[in-house]
Amino acid sequence: LRIVLLGPPGAGKGTQAALLKEKFGIPHISTGEIFREEIEKGSALGIRIREFVSKGILVPDEIVVEVVKNRLSASDCINGWILDGFPRTLNQAKLLDKILQNMEQKIDIAIYIDVPEEEAIRRLLSRGRGDDKICTLKRRFKEYLNKTAPVIEYYKEKGLLVMINGVGSIEEVHLRILNALKEKRIIN
Ligand code: AMP
């Protein structure tokens, strides 16, 4: 089961990914989470990326793609994965296809969790992560609109995209995702 989760900051991708991980026993791969850990550790990678992350700017594609490539080649990814927060640019999406082609793997579904911007901002401000300050948030939304919107179109054209209404309780949204997987005959 190979899932790509898409949606604006605050859509609930991380929350839903955690539930899917639990249900299907496959790893939840969040590039944002990996980056925060590396920054915390003060690793060479962390030092390279911390400015981008703290400002809400996208980390350069070549860095992100290298990280994802390594992560996907780990043994726990053999039966599937949930990608959360990647790909975020059209270039990343195309590079992901190449990586998967080499691994003889395919994305089963790209799930777009749709939440209006006001609702997303409300959720993010209540979460209060380091990069959730209002000015950084605006930057992250701008990055999202400019760079991530084409990714949605890309998966739509490939017939992989499913839109999910992200407004409602965590459990409601989770059930909508499971229904989408059933409708596409990805699960029974
Ligand atoms: P997230 O936890 O997904 O909200 O990501 C937090 C921050 O990490 C983003 O604002 C970016 O600076 C960086 N980041 C995470 N994923 C990516 C990605 N796929 N491409 C570029 N930057 C990313």
Distances (CA, A) of 93 to 6, 26, 139: 12, 21, 21
Write the pLDDT tens digit of every residue in 16-45. 999 999 999 999 999 999 999 999 999 999
Mean pLDDT over each residue of the chain, to the nearest integer = 95
- 88 within 8 A of 147, measured Cβ to Cβ: yes
Tell me the one-letter amino acid at 148: T
Structure pTM? 0.95
Distance 161 CA to ligand 1 centre (A): 21
Distance 185 CA to ligand 1 centre (A): 31
Q: Of ligand 1's atoms, which has the minimum distance to the CA of residue 31?
A: 16
**Which residue's CA is the nearest one to ligand 1's atom 5?**
32
pLDDT of residue 134: 87
What is d(CA 68, CA 34) in angstroms, rounded to the nearest whole number?
10
In percent, the amount of the chain with pLDDT more than 70 equals 100
The DSSP element (H or E) to which 172 belongs, if any, is helix 170-183
Distance 36 CA to ligand 1 centre (A): 9
**Angle at CA 165, nearest 5°, toward 160 and 169?**
130
For ligand 1, residues with CB inside 6 Å are: 9, 30-32, 35, 52-53, 56-59, 64, 85-86, 88, 92, 131, 140
For residue 129, name the pLDDT band (cuts at 50, 70, 90). confident
Write the pLDDT tens digit of every residue in 147-182. 998 999 999 999 999 999 999 999 999 999 999 999
What is d(CA 64, CA 187) in angstroms, rounded to the nearest whole number?
30
pLDDT of residue 128: 80
pLDDT of residue 133: 87
Distance 188 CA to ligand 1 centre (A): 33
**Which residue's CA is the nearest one to ligand 1's atom 1?**
32
Write the pLDDT tens digit of every residue in 73-120. 999 999 999 999 999 999 999 999 999 999 999 999 999 999 998 999
Residue partners of 32: CB distance under 8 A and separation at least 6: 14, 53, 84, 85
